[in-house]
Structures are given as C-alpha cells and as structure tokens.
Amino acid sequence: MTDDTPPAMADPTTADPGRSPDSAGKDALIAALIDLERHIDQRGWDQPPRLFALVDTDSLIAAEPQLAESLGLRSSADTGLPGALTAVEQDDFSGGADLVGDLAGIAWPESVFGCAVSFVRTFLPTGFEADIPEDATAAAAYVAGHEKREEIRVVVGVDRADHRHGVARLVSQPGELLGAEDLVPGLAEVLAHTLA
C-alpha cells in the first residue's frame, strides 16, 4: 500500500440522490477509475502495469483514521455519496508482457471491494492489420517502429457487485477520456476472478 494514492470519490456536484443503489455502485466504480487515471497521468506515459485495490472509503476511514486524514478522505456523511471507493496501489505487483497471466494468481481478501489495473499499449490504426507479422515478437517490433503507431493508457476496474468499466486515453488526444463498460472485457473478466 502507498500513502500517496489520492482518494477516488465521486463528484458530489454530479450525484443524483434518486439513483438506484446499483446505479450508484456503478457510478462509484466509474468515478474511482476516472480519478485513478488522472492520478496515473501525473507520472507520464512510460509506466509499467500498476495494480490497485479498491476499498470502501467509509470502511477505510473507520479502520485507518490517521491515514484517511492524511489523504484527505471524506466520508459519505460529508459528501452525501455512499459507496465511494479509494484506490490503494499494490507496490509489490510487477506486471509484465503477460498481464493476464500476472493477474490470474491473485486473490483479494473480503476487505477489498474491487480492483483495477492500468497499463499502456502501442497499436496501429485500422488498415494496417495485413502488414503486421504473425510472430508475436516480430509484430511487437513492427508496431513499435511504425510511424503511425499510437499509444493508449487503459484503466480497467471491477467490483464485487459485478460492475465493470474501463477508461482510456490516447497520447495523441490527451484532453479526451474514453470510457465503456466493455472496453477490455477479457481483462475485466480476469479481474473479476481475482475477487471470487
């Protein structure tokens, strides 16, 4: 765990108190991922995969009041937003080229309500598929050296209520944040298994 991870809480100015608990839970996950992506963005693009536990903010405040105070966490009583999540980075995680394999052996304790992973990938726009070599090593080298390559940073998260979401930012469009429930469905499924 690190003490420098910021709180990942929903924006109280956009909350709708009439929303269903399921919608509120989904919104809490999305808000946590957006805040997490902004936090990751502060360290630039050249980063390895990073893994985060998502814990209930109210529970964290109750269990670790001094840490919560140092991070500036606000309870649901203060914000009016129940279910807010705080991201806690797992410093001992070292994800490599096989991110799915690296995640497959993880099992979270019950105190962890969700989890998220961030990673950066290089890809080519549509239309270059036929030119990419079939060999994985050769394909990676081809894409990395291509003048039309793009870099994308993705943050995917899931929770124990089976909410799933991903957000992404292209290096060429730093002001835009993409998001979808099924942004990286295979990776979301792997993350969900770590919570089972």
Confidence of residue 165 (pLDDT cuts 50, 70, 90): very high
Q: Is the pLDDT of residue 8 over 90?
A: no
C-beta separation of 64 from 111 below 8 A: no
Q: For the chain, give the mean pLDDT.
A: 86
Instruction: State the distance between the two ends of the chain, measured CA to CA, in whole angstroms.
Output: 21
User: Quick one: which H or E segment has residue 55?
Assistant: strand 50-56
Question: Which residue did the predictor score with more confidence, 164 or 77?
Answer: 164
Q: Is the pLDDT of residue 144 over 60?
A: yes
For residue 120, what pLDDT is reported? 92
User: Of 24, 26, 2, 4, nearest to 15 (Cα)?
Assistant: 24
Asked whether the whole model's pTM tops 0.75, one would answer: yes
Q: Is the pLDDT of residue 16 over 70?
A: no
User: Of 94-103, 120-129, 162-171, which one has max mean pLDDT?
Assistant: 162-171
Task: For Cα atoms 155, 8, 13, give the angle at the middle one, nearest 5 degrees.
Answer: 115
Mean pLDDT of 15-44: 81
104-118, 121-135, 158-172, range with the lowest pLDDT: 121-135
For residue 9, what pLDDT is reported? 33
Per residue in 107-124, pLDDT tens? 999 999 999 999 998 888
Mean pLDDT of 56-72: 91
